[in-house]
Amino acid sequence: MDINILEIMKHRYPFLLIDKVIEHEYLKKAKVIKYVSYNEPWVQGHYPDKPIFPGVLMIEAMGQASGMMLIDFSTKKDKDKYGYLVKVEQCKFINPVYPGSELVMNCKMLEKIDDCYIKVQIIATVDDKKVATCVLIFMLK
């Protein structure tokens, strides 16, 4: 898909943690890539001898990936809304993610709770191997 993430996302470097949308179905699902780089600020401190992508940043990346399915790209409907993370459920880190990896996040809408809240399930993989799963709840404003 040819989507300019900078037109959609409010985040900017160093906190923009997604790079490419490869699948998208409005309010249903999204498949998003984050290229984990050796040039990122966390690498030198987490951990200097064997850097791994921090779990808290992975949760943020999964949240940003989830945000992609909340926008209708054809009309840009809801692109001015913000999604605020209000709850993290069932989060599991299964395998470490190293610099040089392509983190693929498969997001699926589980439920829309009135007009303000959504619940999303994310499965993250590297080389088709599951590295993390979680359910996130967002408030939309």
Entry pTM: 0.92
Residue 85's contacts (CB-CB under 8 Å, 6 or more residues apart) are: 63, 136, 137, 138
The token pair that represents 121 in the structure block: 């399930």
The token pair that represents 50 in the structure block: 């064997």
Mean pLDDT by 10 residues, the chain (141 residues): 79 90 93 96 92 97 92 71 90 98 98 90 98 95 84
**Residues assigned a catalytic role:** 46
The reported pLDDT for the residue numbered 111 is 94
Alpha helices by DSSP H, the chain? 5-8, 55-68
Q: What number of other Cβ atoms are within 10 A of residue 80's Cβ? A: 8
